[in-house]
Amino acid sequence: MPGCAKLSDPLASVLGMDLNAFWALVESSGAETSGRDERLRRLTAALAALPRQEVAEFAVWLDRARRRVDTWAHWQAADVICGGLCSDDGFFYFQAWLVGQGRAVFEAVAASPDALADVPHVRVLASRGGVHAWADDEWPDWEDLDHVADEVFEGGLDEELARRGVWLLTAPEPAGEQWDFADPAEISARVPRLGALFGKVA
């Protein structure tokens, strides 16, 4: 069924690329690149050089990472950064952007959404004075990361994974408790450093 996954071991039939290899691909694509488009080209080329099975495995590892930050707490943090403009799609692409920050940043934020206050790019965005001042390529999203494996696979990736009992998320399915993201008391209690950085708490 779309949007769901069997989490007992979705890699049971597609082992080959391990977690370290996944992160190496993500991080090497961002090394010494001048922008998002160049990074995507490098990642596409790296995946295209791999066997098709490993391209599929990359998509599954991305899905596994995404699920770790698919929570209401992480959505609130993204919403604070984005000035209350973090839609379903925006949060989905924010998750991909967070993966793109590399393993160390991802692990810190997975453990505590408030760790986003330490991310250099987030601090730059906070200094801009509001989302109206952000350039398009500054927004914390990386939609293309969601599509690169399917494009390299040349179509049929979802069907191939479904035959193996694996379904990838196609939209946020956040875990945990939902609350009013704009409530200053909730921001102060849950993401105090991030809230202070973006002027959302006293």
Report yes or no on 160 lying in a domain: yes
The mean per-residue pLDDT over the stretch 8-14 comes to 42
Domain containing residue 131: 19-197
- pLDDT bucket at 202, cuts 50 / 70 / 90: low
In the predicted structure, residue 19 carries a pLDDT above the cut 80: yes
Report whether pLDDT(5) > 50. no
The values of phi and psi at residue 175, to 5°, are: -90, 160
Residue 1 inside a domain? The answer is no
pLDDT at 11 (0 to 100): 43
- Report the alpha-carbon distance of residue 57 to residue 124 in Å, rounded: 34
Residue 64 lies in a domain: yes
Mean pLDDT of 53-79: 97
**pLDDT tens digit string along 113-153?**
999 999 999 999 999 999 999 999 999 999 999 999 999 99
Q: Does 31 fall in a domain?
A: yes
Domain presence at residue 135: yes
Entry pTM:
0.90
Residue 114 lies in a domain: yes
Residue 14 pLDDT exceeds 70 = no
Domain annotation covers residue 13:
no
| Number of domains, the chain | 1
Residue 104's Cβ-count burial label (10 Å; 0-12, 13-18, 19+) is exposed
Task: Identify the band that residue 15 occupies on the pLDDT scale cut at 50, 70 and 90.
Answer: low
Residue 6's closest CA among 14, 16, 99, 25? 14
Give the tokens for residue 128.
């801009």
Nearest 5°: CA angle at 167, between 149 and 10?
90
Please report whether residue 106 resides in a domain: yes
Separation of alpha carbons 103 and 1, rounded Å: 30
Please give the average per-residue pLDDT across 24-31, as a whole number: 94
Mind listing the pLDDT tens digit for each residue in 72-86?
A: 999 999 999 999 999
**Does the structure show a pLDDT above 70 at 189?**
yes
